[in-house]
Amino acid sequence: MNRRAMRAILGIALLAGIGSAANAQQVLINGGGATFPNPIYSKWFDEYHKKFASIQINYQSQGSSFGIQQIIAGTVDFGASDAPMSDAQMTEFKTKRGSGILHFPTVMGGNVPIYNVPGVPQQLNFTGDALAGIFLGKITKWSDPELTKSNPGVKLPDASIVVVHRSDGSGTSYVWTDYLSKVSKEWETKVGRGNSVNWPVGLGGKGSEGVTGQVKQQPNSIGYVEVIYAQQNKLTYGKVKNLAGNFVDGSLQGVTAAAAGSNKEIPDDFRVSITNAPGKDSYPISTFTWLLIPEKITDPAKKKAIKDFVVWALKDGQNLCEPLSFARLPKAVVDKEVKAIAKIQ
Amino acid sequence: MAASSSTAIDAPPGGWAHSFVKRLRAGDEIAYLLTFICAASVVAITALLVWELYINSYEARVKFGWSFLWTTTWDPVNGQFGALPFVYGTLVTSGLAMLIGIPLGVGAAIFLAELAPPRISSALTFLIELLAAVPSVIFGLLGIFILVPALRTAEPALRAVLGWTPLFQGAFYGVSLFSAGVVLAVMIIPFIISISREVILAVPGDQREGALALGATRWETTWDVVVPFARKGIAGSIFLALARSLGETMAVTMVVGNETKIHASLFAPGYSIAAVLANEFVEATGPLHLSALTELGLVLFALTIVINGAARILVASTSGKGMS
Amino acid sequence: MNNWNKLRRKSINAIMLTLTGLCTLFAAGTLVYILGYLFVHGAGSLNWSFFTQLPRPVGESGGGMANAIIGSAKLLLLAACIGVPIGFMGGVYLAEFGGTTFSFVVRYVTDLLNGVPSIVMGIFAYTLIVLPRRPGFSTFAGGVALGVMMIPIAIRSSEEFLRGVPLSLREGAMALGASKSKAIWTVVVPAAKAGLVTGIMLNLARVAGETAPLLFTSFGNQFWSPGWKQPTAALPEMIFKYAVAPYDDWHQQAWSAGFVLLTLVLAVNVIARMILAKRGPAAR
C-alpha cells in the first residue's frame, strides 16, 4: 500500500509539474506596480492575450512603490508607476541590474477627490487650500467655511471629515502630494511629496482599491483615486480649482487639457509632472502613468513580446482608454515613444 | 564471558566492523542518518531564519539603536523609523483580545469540562475546536463586512456606556484598534477553551470528590478547588493564545485602519507589526526602510518566542499533576 | 441563617452555570454563525463558472477563480512534499532515537519555529527565493514557505503518534529478529498510521488558509500558471484581494471563495477527527 501510494503521489506531482509546464511557444511575462491604471492595464493585457494567445502578461497591481522596488530587484519583467523614478532610484537600478531603465507613458488620468457624504449627492468644488487643509488635519468638518464658500447652495453637514489615504507606497499618493505641495507651502514643508509620506491624519487603504472600498463604506470620508474607480463604484468625486481659477473635474477633457496646457517640453526620458498645469480647462491633478522597462532584456522572446506590446498599447490600446475614463496620450508623446522603443536592447 | 570487565563493552560476535556492516545492511544506520538529518534541518532552518532577520536589519539597528523601540515617527520620506506605533498597536489589540477572550474562553472551558453533561460537552467542544481551524483571511472577510458595520451601529451605545474614559473617545470610523481587538478575541477563544478544558479535565477526580463530599456546590468545587489546581495550565493556554494573536496578520490588517500613529482611544485606527509588514515589505523604498521593517520582524519574532516559551513552561508544569 | 446561606450558594451555582453556559454558546454559536453566513452569501452565487473560468478584467462582472483553485492545490502539493517527509522523519527521530540533548534542542527549536508568525515566514521565503530570483515570485516560493510552516507541526504530531504505539509492539518485533529500522518501518509506523495520516490532513488544512506568506511569494496571476516557476493565483490571496476592493461583484466572489475554502478546511478537519475518534485509543 505504501509503495502504491508513493507512486501515485509521485505521478500526480510529475503530471502537475510537467503537464502544465509552459509549452515552448508560450511567453510568460510578469509585471507589477501602480493601482492607478489597473483598470486599463488589466483590460489591455486581457485583450492582448486574446489577440496573441501565446503571450501572457500577468500584471499585479500592488502600488507604484512595489513596481519600482521590484523592477530594481529584477523580480518582475517590467514595473509600472504613476510616480517617475527618482535619479537615485535610477542610479540604483543601473548599479544593481547593469543597464538603464526606461519610462514609457501609457495613458493619462485624473487623480480625483472621492467622498461619501450622506445627503450630498452633488459634485462639490474643492480649492487647493481646502484639500491641503483637510489632509493636514486642520479642516476637520464638512461645514468648514473653506468648503462652504466654494459650494454655495449645498447643505454640508457639520460632521467630522474622515480622511483616507494610501497605506502602501503609491504613485497616486505621489501625484496627490505633489499637487498639495504646489498649492500649499505648509504641506510642502510639513509633509512633502512622495509615494509614502508621514500623513498627518487619516486611515490607510491598501491600493486604490482599498481607498475606494474605505470611502464607500465610511460615511463622511474623503480619499483620492483615479477617476475610473469613482465612476465604477458610483462614488461622487469633486471638482478642483485649477491655476486659472476654474473648478474643473478629472474627466477626459480636463486631463487632456492639462497635458496640452503644460507647456513643458516632454523630456526625452518622459519623466514629467503635469500637476497644477496652466490653462483654463486643465484639471490640476492630472498625471501620466509609466511602464518601467529595462534598457536591456536578455530573453529574446520576452524582449520581442514587450516591445510589440508597447507598440500595440500606443496604437490600438489607446482606443480602449476613453471608455475607462483614461485620456489618450498626446500625439507628440506617442511619436517620441515609438522612437524610444528602439532603445530596448 | 561473565568474568570480563564490567565497564568494557563486549565486542559483538564477529567484531565491530562486521556488526556495523550488518546494521548498515539492515538499514539501521541509514534510518538513523536520514531521520537525524531531517530533525537537524529544523534547527538549521530556524538558525537561518534568525540569521536572516538579524543580518537584514543591520542598517536600522545601527542607525537607531535601542531608541527604535520607543520612537514614534514612521517617516519613509525622511528616513526616520520608530517601532512604537506598531508595538503599541500590537499590544493594544492583543490586550483587548485577551480582555474579551479570557473570561469568555475560561468560562466556556469550565462549563465544558465541569458543569456540562458529557454528551453536550463533546459536541460543543467539537464545534469550538473547528472554529480554531477557520482561516484568518475569512475572519478578516467577516470583519470587514459584518463586524465593522455592526460596530458602527453599536458605537453610540458603547460611547454612552464607556465614553467617559479616554479609551473610547474621538471619532469612530469602524476600522479601528477596537475592531481588530474584537476579531482577534473571536479567533483566540477556541485555543483558550481547548487547552484549558484539557487541563481542567486532567485534574484528579479525588480533588473534586473531596470537595463535593464536604458539601460544596458544583460551582464551588469548580471555582475553589479544581480551577486553582489547573491554574498554571490555564495561564499557559492564555499565553499561547496571546502568542497567536500577536502574530496575526490578515484579519488585523483588514480591520485595523492602517494608521502609523498612536492614539489613546480604542476607537482610533491603528497598526500592528504584522500588518505593516504585510503592507510595506515588498515595496519598501530603499535599504533603510527595508531594514527597519526587518527589525520590526525581529521584534515580533522575539516577542512571540518569549511568550510562547512562557506558555510551554506553564502548560508543561500542569500536564498530569497540577500541584502549584 | 443556614437556609439563607444555602440558598445563596445554590443561586450562585445556578447563575454561574448559566453564565459559563452562555460563554460556551457564544463560542460554539460563532462557528455556526460564520458557516451559516458564508453559506447564505457564498453558496448562493456559486456557479459552474466560479470553478471553471479565469478572472475577468477589473470592473467587468463575471469570471471565476479556476486558476486560484488549481494554484492552491499546487501550492499545497509542494508544501506537503516538503513538510510531510521532513516532519515525519524528524518525528521518527524524536520518537525512536530520542532522549539525547540533541532531541531536547530539536523539540525546543521546533516549538520556536511553530510560534513564528506566518508573515515572518513569508519574509524568509521572499529573502531566500524571490529576491535572488531563484526563481523569483513563483509557486515554488509559495510552496516552500507553506512547507516550512508545516514542518514543526508535522514533527510534533508524528512524534506523538509514534510514541503512542505501545512499547510491546516494538519489543515484539525486535524479539523476532528485526533490526531497529525494520521494526520502525514495518511495525511501529503502520500501527500509528491513522494518527499520522490525520496529522497530515489537519496540517494541510491549516496551511491551506494561510494568506500572509503568499503575499510575498506566489504573487498572484490572472491567467493559468504553468509549472512551478511562475507566479500563481491562490484562493486565500484572491479572497483578500477581492474583499478589500470596492467592486460588489468581487465581494460576491470573495464570499463564494471563502465558502469553498472554509468548507474544504472544515471537511478535512471533521474527517480527520472522526478517523481519530473511531480508531479510539488504539490509534494513539
Q: Are residues B201 and B243 in the same domain?
A: yes
The total number of structural domains that make up chain B:
2
Residues A81-89 have a mean pLDDT of 91
Q: Are residues B123 and B270 in the same domain?
A: yes
Confidence band for A218, pLDDT divided at 50, 70 and 90? confident
Looking at the whole model, is its pTM more than 0.95? no
CB contact under 8 A, B76 and A169: yes
What is the SS3 assignment for chain C? Answer: CHHHHHHHHHHHHHHHHHHHHHHHHHHHHHHHHHHHHHHHHHHCCCCHHHHHCCECCCCCCCECCHHHHHHHHHHHHHHHHHHHHHHHHHHHHHHHCCCCHHHHHHHHHHHHHHHCCHHHHHHHHHHHHHCCCCCCCCHHHHHHHHHHHHHHHHHHHHHHHHHCCCHHHHHHHHHCCCCHHHHHHHHHHHHCHHHHHHHHHHHHHHHHCCCHHHHHHCECCCCCCCCCCCCECCHHHHHHHHHHCCCHHHHHHHHHHHHHHHHHHHHHHHHHHHHHHHHHHHHC
Residues on chain A touching C225 (C-beta within 8 angstroms) = 20
Confidence band for A320, pLDDT divided at 50, 70 and 90? very high
User: Given this model, what pLDDT does residue A10 score?
Assistant: 67
Residues B241-266 have a mean pLDDT of 87
CB contact under 8 A, B74 and A198: yes
User: Given this model, what pLDDT does residue B320 score?
Assistant: 44
Confidence band for C189, pLDDT divided at 50, 70 and 90? confident
Distance CA B116, CA B122 (A): 9
Whether B226 has its CB under 8 Å from any CB of chain C: the answer is: no
CB A113 within 8 A of CB A164: no
Residues C122-149 have a mean pLDDT of 90
User: Given this model, what pLDDT does residue C284 score?
Assistant: 38
- pLDDT tens-digit series, residues B141-168: 899 888 888 888 888 888 888 777 777 7
Q: Are residues B157 and B39 in the same domain?
A: no
Residue A159 is classified by DSSP as: P
| pLDDT at residue B1 is higher than 70 | no
Q: Are residues B195 and B215 in the same domain?
A: yes
User: Strand, helix or coil at A328?
Assistant: coil
User: Given this model, what pLDDT does residue B318 score?
Assistant: 61
CB within 8 Å of B145: residues ≥ 6 apart: C243, C251
User: Given this model, what pLDDT does residue C87 score?
Assistant: 92
Distance CA B214, CA B195 (A): 29
User: Given this model, what pLDDT does residue A18 score?
Assistant: 47
Chains interfacing with C (3 or more CB pairs < 8 Å): A, B
CB B315 within 8 A of CB B237: yes
Minimum distance, in Å, between the CA of residue A215 and any CA atom of chain C? 9
- pLDDT tens-digit series, residues C57-107: 887 888 889 999 999 999 999 999 999 999 999 998 988 887 888 888 898
Residues on chain C touching A56 (C-beta within 8 angstroms) = 223-224
Q: Are residues B18 and B131 in the same domain?
A: no
CB contact under 8 A, B258 and A205: yes
Instruction: Please choose, from the candidates C225, C67, C139, the residue with its C-alpha nearest in 3D space to the C-alpha of residue A26.
Output: C225
Query: Could you state, in order of their start, the residue ranges of all structural domains in chain C?
Result: 2-45, 63-283
Return mean pLDDT, chain A: 88
CB C204 within 8 A of CB C198: no
Residues B130-150 have a mean pLDDT of 88
Residue A201 is classified by DSSP as: S
Quick check: is B88 in a domain?
yes
CB contact under 8 A, B279 and A168: yes
Quick check: is B203 in a domain?
yes
User: Given this model, what pLDDT does residue C237 score?
Assistant: 92
Q: Are residues B132 and B43 in the same domain?
A: no
- pLDDT tens-digit series, residues B15-40: 777 776 766 666 777 888 888 999 99
Strand partners, A141: A160
| pLDDT at residue B290 is higher than 70 | yes
Quick check: is B282 in a domain?
yes
Q: Are residues B22 and B131 in the same domain?
A: no
Q: Are residues B248 and B301 in the same domain?
A: yes
Q: Are residues B25 and B154 in the same domain?
A: no
CATH number at residue B189: 1.10.3720.10
Quick check: is B61 in a domain?
no
User: Given this model, what pLDDT does residue C30 score?
Assistant: 87
Domain, as residue range, for B8: 2-56
Q: Are residues B115 and B218 in the same domain?
A: yes
Residues on chain C touching A21 (C-beta within 8 angstroms) = 226-227
| pLDDT at residue B98 is higher than 60 | yes
Distance CA B37, CA A119 (A): 68
User: Given this model, what pLDDT does residue A183 score?
Assistant: 93
CB contact under 8 A, A203 and B253: no
Chosen domain end from B11, B26, B56: B56
Residues A321-335 have a mean pLDDT of 89
CB B284 within 8 A of CB B293: yes
C86 closest CB neighbour out of B41, B274, B278: B41
Distance CA C227, CA C231 (A): 10
Look at domain C63-283 and name its CATH class: mainly alpha
Q: Could you tell me the three cell numbers for A44?
A: 489591455
Distance CA A221, CA A159 (A): 10
Which residues 84-123 of chain B have a CB within 8 Å of chain C?
103-105, 107-108, 110-112, 115-116
Instruction: Please choose, from the candidates C248, C189, C225, the residue with its C-alpha nearest in 3D space to the C-alpha of residue C62.
Output: C248
The DSSP element (H or E) to which A309 belongs, if any, is helix A300-314
Residues on chain C touching B134 (C-beta within 8 angstroms) = 31, 34, 209, 262, 265-266
Distance CA A316, CA A295 (A): 24
Residues on chain C touching B247 (C-beta within 8 angstroms) = 115-120
Q: Are residues B171 and B304 in the same domain?
A: yes
Return mean pLDDT, chain C: 87
Residues A126-131 have a mean pLDDT of 94
Q: Could you tell me the three cell numbers for B210?
A: 473531596
CB contact under 8 A, C116 and B128: no
Q: Are residues B125 and B211 in the same domain?
A: yes
Q: How many CB atoms lie within 10 A of CB B164?
A: 10
ipTM score assigned to the predicted complex? 0.85
Distance CA A222, CA A218 (A): 9
Residues on chain A touching C54 (C-beta within 8 angstroms) = none
- pLDDT tens-digit series, residues A177-198: 999 999 999 999 999 888 888 8
More confidently predicted of A57 and C46: A57
